Structure 1
């Protein structure tokens, strides 16, 4: 085998491995997992959440709690939910975010909030929901547009776990880990 062909083959293998390393789970692989997540059922009423933000080294930078008041109605034949979130951070700061979630078709959702750039895209199957969106994140007086890849897993009818990776220009900045408890 000549050296040029060997190098091309090696480069192709490295590139394939790189692509496989970058790929993540597909929500459809959770289609048969139970309990089945129904967003309008779970995010209805009052939900408490407890979370941390860790930087890319794994160090906890912030702890926080969230009180969520949620309800749904049918608008133009589509389920539309409002999630009113009140954040209390360990450094004493507070934040408010109000999500409007709309079911586009079974298992497909869009979400909007004032600090979300464009629309969040949500895919649901079985016990899992994957949200992808860009958030306008304030840090020390500057607003950064940060991408979120957000995974939620219903563990019991009352408990859901959430793990979100934050990145900018494809570089991982950190993770948000949350546990939700439906009252």
Structure 2
């Protein structure tokens, strides 16, 4: 299912600009950027990333390109005084040079845009060259966790992972939530509609 863009919120940009400690422009804070460190690409309204530190201790960085959606997540972090989560505003490809020297113990791709048209498949977050960049951010032993409701995107991602020699740790066509995972807003809606959730876990092979 294609994600629906949020309506433009007039308060979003002023809020983002006023809270540079939450929506950051640089990664030069050593007190935050150290292991255990986790990344979510496409953080949405923050339901996942803001609750993950309660289950898996560490610091979390969220990337979101929609300013109105990001502002909702950032406001939640501000109102809950969440110090374990920070955000970057922008597209992953454009932000990659900024974060490419960071290493994450886990990377989460939750319900990414499936870009269903064949001519748009290169825009998918799990398109081979992009997925390779994502994998390069992993610490040794780190994992990429992918959840989607889209069976075609799931199959596509498996094939792209094979092309770039990533190891498939597990794949599940009817994933049931486990105790170390947070249900996203999309995931909750899909489950209520009876839609199957597909989950894939990847890692770099030992020789990579």
Could you tell me the TM-score, scaled by structure 1's length? 0.28
Larger Rg computed on CA atoms: 1
Which structure dedicates a bigger proportion of its chain to strand? 1
Could you tell me the TM-score, scaled by structure 2's length? 0.26
Which structure dedicates a bigger proportion of its chain to helix? 2
